[in-house]
Amino acid sequence: MAVLLEIKDLQTYFYTPTGVVKAVDGVSYDVQEGETLAIVGESGCGKSVSALSVMRLIPNPPGRIVGGEILYKGQDLMKLDEGEMQRTRGKEIAMVFQEPMTSLNPVLSIGRQMTESLEFHFGMSKTDAADKAVELIRSVEISDAERRLHQFPHHLSGGMRQRIMIAMALSCNPSVLIADEPTTALDVTVQAQILELMKRLTQELGAALVIITHNLGVVARYADRVNVMYAGKVIERGTSAEIYGNPKHPYTLGLMASVPRLDLPPKDKLDPIEGQPPDLADLPPGCSFLPRCRYAIDRCAVESPPLTVVQGAHMSACWVADQLPSETARTS
């Protein structure tokens, strides 16, 4: 498979009165054609900021992309002017946001919001765009498509709004769809519907799907590959079989142990990761996970571990990656 989008050593910092917050600090990953890639991490790990950086939607000030390259089909997005970027955004790389309540414009009809990008990117006439919008609304399995065009976001439920967002994002046949916590605000039964829908539609279009989430469970079913992020860095990468079956970073191991699982017998006690995530404006030297790590060695305090190969394409940023207990030994 060919590499579609490649992020190299991306650094996005926020300049705040209390200091420089290194939200994304040297992140590299790539997205291959047609694959489903997951970016997993807890709040503040930089997963959303890395995606917003790709779209060049970082509010400046206070944020700024201070280093790195974002190559889309070989072209560095950082070097595009705003007009060129606008033609890329939505048409080549589209995004679905977490909050279906706030990411639609409350004073514009659904139809207007959907036709806007069609008119902009393809120069469609108003009626052609409206026809296409009806078709798109049907494709995301919403009934009464014609009537929906004249409705406003507040007429729709959360799940329907997220469907509209997906329809809008896919309207210009993008090659990459980035979904930032697409189902976090939704109920479990609706969550399943939306994920199935996204997977099916991107497969039909041949588009790559990047799912950003804090929930390890959500992506297990859908992702081909997984990147795990912590404190602004990718700390583990691999196929989902590798990440879920044989995690090689203490943080990933810890995340797996913290969640109660329906498929295993109930445990008396959960095994949480102790402590708090670090303050990104004041990171300790060495490995950022060190204060919460139960496998740390002396070297961790002085030298930050780079992302290195464990086996094949499975990579981990940990000095003791090869000495960690295997997942099977831990759960039994």
Q: Is the dihedral of CA 139, 144, 148, 150 positive or negative?
A: positive
Judge residue 122's burial from the number of C-beta atoms within 10 Å of its C-beta, 0-12 exposed, 13-18 middle, 19 or more buried: middle
Is the distance from CB of 41 to CB of 214 less than 8 angstroms?
yes
Query: For residues 146-175, which are near another protein according to CB under 8 A?
Result: 157, 159-160
Question: Cβ of residue 268: shortest distance to another protein, in angstroms?
Answer: 9
Query: Considering only residues 3, 259, 309, 313, which one is a binding residue for another protein as defined by CB under 8 A?
Result: 259
Closer by beta carbon to another protein, 11 or else 246 = 246
User: Is position 188 an interface residue for another protein (rule: CB under 8 A)?
Assistant: yes
Is the distance from CB of 139 to CB of 169 less than 8 angstroms?
no
∠40-311-207 over CA atoms, to 5°?
Answer: 45
User: Is position 217 an interface residue for another protein (rule: CB under 8 A)?
Assistant: yes
Question: Cβ of residue 43: shortest distance to another protein, in angstroms?
Answer: 6
The three-state secondary structure class of 6 is strand
Question: Cβ of residue 188: shortest distance to another protein, in angstroms?
Answer: 5
**Of the listed pieces 80-88, 174-182, 241-249, 307-315, which binds another protein according to CB under 8 A?**
241-249
Closer by beta carbon to another protein, 220 or else 301 = 220
Cα 2 to Cα 180: distance, rounded to the nearest angstrom: 23
Query: Considering only residues 273, 280, 293, 300, which one is a binding residue for another protein as defined by CB under 8 A?
Result: 273
Cα 117 to Cα 124: distance, rounded to the nearest angstrom: 9
Nearest to 109 by CA among 156, 49, 170: 156
Question: Cβ of residue 277: shortest distance to another protein, in angstroms?
Answer: 8
User: Is position 19 an interface residue for another protein (rule: CB under 8 A)?
Assistant: no
Closer by beta carbon to another protein, 264 or else 302 = 264
User: Is position 254 an interface residue for another protein (rule: CB under 8 A)?
Assistant: yes
Cα 297 to Cα 299: distance, rounded to the nearest angstrom: 6
Query: Which residues lie near another protein (CB under 8 A)?
Result: 42-43, 157, 159-160, 187-193, 196, 214-218, 220-221, 223, 240-241, 244-245, 254-263, 266-267, 269-274, 276-277
